[in-house]
């Protein structure tokens, strides 16, 4: 079964979910509006009532190119729906994660940020300067995973690979020390 994360076992079944995943995989240029509607449809088909605050959280997360902390999601969602509460943000995040629509990115400080989950088997490259996240494919870890399983006796069911660096835009920005000299 196709999965939004690198797991050998499906977290959710159902024909609607499978169809949604296939649509997302074969249409990789899903714009934020379309992604929002797909997420809303998936949640509604699974009994989740779609309120204005919940939809605001979905719109913010579906459109984000940057990894966001829950507080940032709250602040941005509040621009769309001023009456939103932090509890709604956390509950919506939990619901989206439970369907594999969000992925947590681990930051150097130990905190987690959130991004729309990769479609298929992809990984994130995160800019340390601006937080922009870019998906990439290909990790060729099969040999390593086999060796780890052989050496430890574990059966590896999934993995996360995140790379950190500086995006092209931030590489061309003057550093703080260079700006202070001017």
The enclosing domain of 136 has a CATH number of: 1.10.10.10
128 within some domain: yes
Nearest alpha-carbon partner for 164 in 127, 117, 133: 127
pTM as predicted? 0.64
Q: Note down pLDDT in tens along the chain; length 182 residues.
A: 223 333 333 344 454 544 554 444 444 444 656 889 999 999 999 999 999 999 999 999 998 888 899 999 999 999 999 999 999 999 999 999 999 899 888 777 767 888 888 766 677 788 888 878 887 777 678 888 899 999 999 998 877 778 888 989 899 887 665 555 55
Asked whether residue 4 is assigned to any structural domain, the reply reads no
Contact (Cβ atoms closer than 8 angstroms) between residue 119 and residue 132: no
Q: Distance (Å, rounded) from C-alpha 77 to C-alpha 89?
A: 8
Residue-number span of the structural domain to which 157 is assigned: 15-181
Residue 81 lies in a domain: yes
Domain tally, the chain: 1
């Amino acid at each position: 079964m196709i999965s939004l994360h690198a797991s050998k076992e499906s977290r959710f079944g159902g024909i609607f979910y499978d169809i949604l995943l296939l649509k997302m995989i074969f249409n990789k240029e899903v714009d934020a509006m379309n992604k929002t509607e797909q997420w809303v449809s998936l949640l509604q088909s699974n009994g989740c009532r779609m309120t204005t605050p919940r939809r605001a959280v979905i719109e913010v997360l579906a459109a984000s190119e940057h990894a966001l902390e829950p507080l940032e999601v709250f602040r941005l969602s509040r621009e769309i729906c001023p009456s939103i509460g932090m509890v709604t943000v956390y509950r919506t995040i939990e619901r989206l994660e439970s369907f594999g629509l969000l992925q947590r990115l681990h930051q150097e400080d130990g905190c987690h940020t959130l991004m729309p989950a990769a479609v298929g088997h992809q990984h994130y490259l995160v800019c340390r300067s601006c937080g922009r996240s870019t998906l990439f494919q290909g990790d060729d870890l099969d040999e390593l995973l086999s060796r780890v399983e052989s050496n430890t006796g574990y059966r590896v069911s999934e993995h996360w690979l995140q790379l950190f660096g500086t995006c092209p835009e931030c590489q061309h920005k003057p550093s703080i020390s260079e700006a202070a000299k001017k």
